[in-house]
């Protein structure tokens, strides 16, 4: 069977991937939010594993991470919550987080749990490519998990080609060199960057993330990539109104 991520890229365009932090706003919200997002029309979900030192994240996601940790969220707790995932959610689900907690949990055990609950991919921004290839790739592959690499405006062409060759699922195109959620609107220079990546004609599809917050930034991203990832803007939505209606309204507004 194809990985669910591959299926989505075959069947859809203008893909919306929504990030939220596990255990935020409340510890037991994870499955309900995932279910609401699928019902609202999200094509893919990214569940953040909260960490005390999230270096790539802006204040909004850091705050949600902090709250989730205070609520008692951990990787162990998350996997317990995800036991019912596949009876309630059919779209692809990725876990995003930092390598330290994964190593502490135990990489073999982590991959087993991902396979058991039906996780399709992992995004671990601080896992170096060489370390992944040497120590992790065979474990991820045997568990049916795609490892998603990130590229940014500073990533060299040679490196992008190498990432394309080693990637499964999609490439996460970071829209700017800043932290998440720091910008709004399409910044000058970003479209040139999107065009440059598009012109490389990579084999792996790409999703654009960081600074995608409304219909305008989403549709711009969809012009140059297969879709986009929204994080901070959705966390703000959860802070204001985490209800089914609130989530549906948010997704409709983004998709336009």
Polymer length in residues for the chain: 256
Q: Tell me, what's the pLDDT at 192?
A: 86
Torsion sign, CA atoms 44, 214, 47, 163 = positive
Q: Tell me, what's the pLDDT at 15?
A: 98
Please write the tens of the pLDDT for every residue from 126-143.
999 999 999 999 999 999
Q: What is the pTM of this model?
A: 0.93
Q: Tell me, what's the pLDDT at 182?
A: 45
Q: How many CB atoms lie within 10 A of CB 244?
A: 14
- Which residues lie closer than 8 Å to 137 by C-beta, 6 or more apart? 147, 166
User: How far is residue 229 from each of residues 159, 208, 211, 251, measured CA to CA in Å?
Assistant: 22, 6, 9, 12
Q: What's the rounded mean pLDDT across residues 5-18?
A: 96
> Cα–Cα distance between 39 and 31 in angstroms, integer?
12
The CA dihedral of 122, 124, 22, 24, to the nearest 10 degrees, is: -150
Q: Tell me, what's the pLDDT at 187?
A: 60
Please write the tens of the pLDDT for every residue from 55-104.
667 788 889 999 999 999 999 999 999 999 999 999 999 999 999 999 99
Q: How many CB atoms lie within 10 A of CB 245?
A: 10
Helices (H), the chain: 4-11, 30-40, 59-71, 75-81, 85-88, 99-105, 107-117, 129-131, 137-142, 157-166, 190-199, 215-224, 232-240, 244-255
> Cα–Cα distance between 254 and 251 in angstroms, integer?
5
4-255: CATH number = 3.20.20.70
Q: Are 194 and 225 in contact (CB under 8 A)?
A: yes
Query: 20 or 61: which carries more pLDDT confidence?
Result: 20
Q: Tell me, what's the pLDDT at 94?
A: 98
Delimit the domains of the chain by residue range: 4-255
Please write the tens of the pLDDT for every residue from 145-192.
999 999 999 999 999 999 999 999 999 999 876 555 444 555 667 888
Q: Are 225 and 13 in contact (CB under 8 A)?
A: no
Please write the tens of the pLDDT for every residue from 186-210.
566 788 889 999 999 999 999 999 8
Active site residues: 46, 57
């Amino acid at each position: 069977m194809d990985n669910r991520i591959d299926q989505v890229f075959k069947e859809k365009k203008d893909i919306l991937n929504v990030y939220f932090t596990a255990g935020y706003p409340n510890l037991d919200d994870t499955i309900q939010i995932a279910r609401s997002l699928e019902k609202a029309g999200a094509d893919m979900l990214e569940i953040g594993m909260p960490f005390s030192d999230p270096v790539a994240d802006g204040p909004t996601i850091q705050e949600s991470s902090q709250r989730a940790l205070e609520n008692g969220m951990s990787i162990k707790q998350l996997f317990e919550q995800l036991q019912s995932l596949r009876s309630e959610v059919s779209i692809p689900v990725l876990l995003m987080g930092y390598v330290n907690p994964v190593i502490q949990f135990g990489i073999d055990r982590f991959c087993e749990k991902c396979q058991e609950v039906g996780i399709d991919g992992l995004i671990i921004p601080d896992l170096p490519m060489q370390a992944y290839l040497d120590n992790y790739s065979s474990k991820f592959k045997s568990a049916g998990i795609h490892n998603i690499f990130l590229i940014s405006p500073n990533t060299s062409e040679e490196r992008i080609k190498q990432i394309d060759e080693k990637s499964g699922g999609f490439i996460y195109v970071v829209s700017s060199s800043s932290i998440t959620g720091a910008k709004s609107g399409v910044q000058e220079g970003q479209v040139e960057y999107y065009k440059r990546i598009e012109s490389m004609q990579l084999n792996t599809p790409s999703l654009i993330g960081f600074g995608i917050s409304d219909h305008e930034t989403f549709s711009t991203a969809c012009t140059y990539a297969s879709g986009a990832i929204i994080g901070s803007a959705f966390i703000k939505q959860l802070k204001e109104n985490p209800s089914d209606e609130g989530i549906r309204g948010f997704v409709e507004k983004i998709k336009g």
